[in-house]
Amino acid sequence: MAGPTTINNRGPCFWCLKAIKWIPVLFIVVIIAWSYYAYVGQLCLDTVKSTAKQIVYLIFYHMFFIMLCWSYWQTIFTEIGRVPLKYKIDDADFRTLTITESAEAQRQILENISRHLPNTNINIQGFPRFCDKCKIIKPDRTHHCSVCGECVLKMDHHCPWINNCVSFTNYKFFLLFLGYALCYCIYVALTSLPYFIDFWKGSLEGPGRFHILFLFFVAIMFGVSLISLFCYHCYLVSENRTTLEAFRPPIFRTGPDKRGFSLGRYNNFQEVFGDNPKTWFIPVKTSLGDGIEFPLNSRHQANSYQSMDNTQNSNREVDSETSKLNSVEIVT
C-alpha cells in the first residue's frame, strides 16, 4: 500500500500549500485594485467637481500607482539568488562529514572543501558555514530558507506578502515597494481627507461616500504599518546589514561583528541601489556585486570594490615592472 502523499513528491498537498502561499499576495492585489476603483472612479470622477483638481489628482495618483505596482511585481517575481555549483559538497565528502564525530576532523574536512572559496564568515564553532540540507558550503551572508526549501544569497527574510524571499536579487525592489506604498498611502489619505470630513459633516452625498470613507481608513491603517517597516529597512541599508544579521551578527575570524560589511553610509546605499543616481528609484536591477562576495569593513580586510580595482592595477604595475627588469637582464 502506498504511503501518504508528501510535499517532496509533489502530490496534492504540495500544490495545495503552493496555492495557499499566494493568498496574502492575492489579498494585497485585491486591496490595490479596490483602492484604484475607489480613488479614480468614486473620488476623482464622481465626487471631485473641479476638472483641474481631477486632472492634478489623477496625474500624481497614477505616478505613485505605477511605481507601486512595478516595484511590487519585481519584488514578487524576481528569482532568489541561488548558490553556484562550485559550493556544492560532493556525496563522498558529505558522507564523511556526517559520520565523523570529531569536531576537529569536521573542521579540517570543511576547511579543505572551502579552501578555494572566497568565504570570510564562519559559524559559532569556528568552522566554515555549511548547509546539511542543500549539501553546500554557504557563501557569506547566505542562509537556508525553510519555506523556499533552499539556501538564498544574502537572505534578509521570507515575506509571505510577496510569497518570496527578500534577498540579494530583490532587496532594492522590496525597499522601493515599501517606499512607494507609503507614498501612495500618504497621498491617498491627504487628498481624500477633505471629502472624509464632508462625509462626517453629512454634506457628502452619493453611493461613493462609503468607498471614500473606507479608502481614507485603509490608507491610514496601511500607512502606519508601513512607516515603521520602511524606516527600519532604511536603517539596515545605511548599516549594510540584513534583518538576520541585525538579530545575529555575522562571525568572522576575529569574532562576531555587526558592522563587518559596513563601508560607510553612502557606499552602503550604493551596495543596494547602485552607483548611477538616475536608476536609484526605478525598480530595475542596479545592486552592486554578485551576492556571493562582499566588500568588507577595513577592520577585517581592505576589500571594497575600489580597493579590488586598485589591487588589480597594482598587480598590473608589478607585472609591468617585472617584465622590464627581465628584459634588461636579457639585454645585459
Can you say how many angstroms the Cα of residue 173 is from the centroid of all Cα atoms in its chain? 7
Q: Is 159 a catalytic residue?
A: yes
Do residues 245 and 237 touch, judged by C-beta distance below 8 A? no
Q: Find the catalytic residue in 69, 134, 159, 165.
A: 159
Q: Residue 291 and residue 166: Cα distance in Å, rounded?
A: 13
Neighbours of 286 (CB within 10 A): 16
Do residues 256 and 249 touch, judged by C-beta distance below 8 A? yes
Q: Residue 73 and residue 253: Cα distance in Å, rounded?
A: 39
Quick one: three-class SS letters along 190-253? HHHHHHHHHHHHCCCCCCCHHHHHHHHHHHHHHHHHHHHHHHHHHHHHHHCCCHHHHHCCCEEC
Do residues 84 and 119 touch, judged by C-beta distance below 8 A? no
Q: Under DSSP, is residue 164 helix (H, G, I), strand (E, B) or coil?
A: strand
Instruction: List, by residue number, the catalytic residues.
Output: 159
